Amino acid sequence: MPIQQANWSPYDNNGGTCVAIAGSDYCVIAADTRMSTGYSILTRDYSKIIQLAEKSVMASSGFQADVRALQKVLEARHLTYQHQHNKQMSCPAMAQLLSNTLYYKRFFPYYSFNVLGGLDNEGKGCVFTYDAVGSYERVGYSSQGSGSTLIMPFLDNQLKSPSPLLLPAKDAVTPLSESEAVDLVKTCFASATERDIYTGDKLEILVLNATGVHREYMELRKD
């Protein structure tokens, strides 16, 4: 009898793309709302973004069942934190918690590619980007998911600071205003939607700043 291999996987990829950009006093977090499996669409209207705390918003692509389970764990942990410390978790604290939660399942990972955005303790925008097992880094901008390979090089071109080794010395990137950042995000998704079959339908954008959270939607191509 020939050797038989397991043909059942506990994971599925529901596709989708997430992006986050940090500004001087704001943060933009965006994700498309398409949920797919294989070459089919499950729904055109599923949010991948969740607000975990007053100043922390997480967007996750990958296997949405694992994403939802991860969101629930973080929500419960945040409640406990609030009971113990009498305050909301800061974004850097939530970033560490997310990393620890992901690594906790190092040997049966959450199939979740996350991007955490928010305001740090000084009120400046911050973005943290993760792999599936919790390796994370604070960055100025990031994208994850099926369209990230199309979006990330574009963001690098637009947002990355020039090297300090360059001669003649070039200015650091001019600070992006909130509306410029939102427009940039819309451009990213419009482009990614063209070539990535798993990205499209609708774009959900959250802007986090000192006044609170503001939500915006934009239609994307549905093919």
Q: Which residues contribute to the site for other proteins (CB under 8 A)?
A: 72-73, 75-76, 79-80, 83
Q: How far is the CB of 163 from other proteins (least distance, A)?
A: 47
The number of helices, as runs of H, and strands, as runs of E, in the chain is 4, 12
Residue 61's contacts (CB-CB under 8 Å, 6 or more residues apart) are 14, 15, 16, 17, 18, 31, 48, 67, 112, 113, 144, 145, 146
Nearer to other proteins, 79 or 169 (CB): 79
> What's the DSSP call for residue 37?
E
Q: How far is the CB of 132 from other proteins (least distance, A)?
A: 22
Cα dihedral: 215, 211, 49, 93 (round 10) = 170
Nearer to other proteins, 2 or 212 (CB): 212
> What's the DSSP call for residue 176?
P
Nearer to other proteins, 29 or 49 (CB): 49
Cα dihedral: 37, 39, 45, 50 (round 10) = 40
Q: How far is the CB of 74 from other proteins (least distance, A)?
A: 11
Nearer to other proteins, 72 or 170 (CB): 72
Nearer to other proteins, 81 or 154 (CB): 81
- C-beta neighbour count of 167 within 10 angstroms: 5
Q: How far is the CB of 82 from other proteins (least distance, A)?
A: 9
Q: How far is the CB of 83 from other proteins (least distance, A)?
A: 5
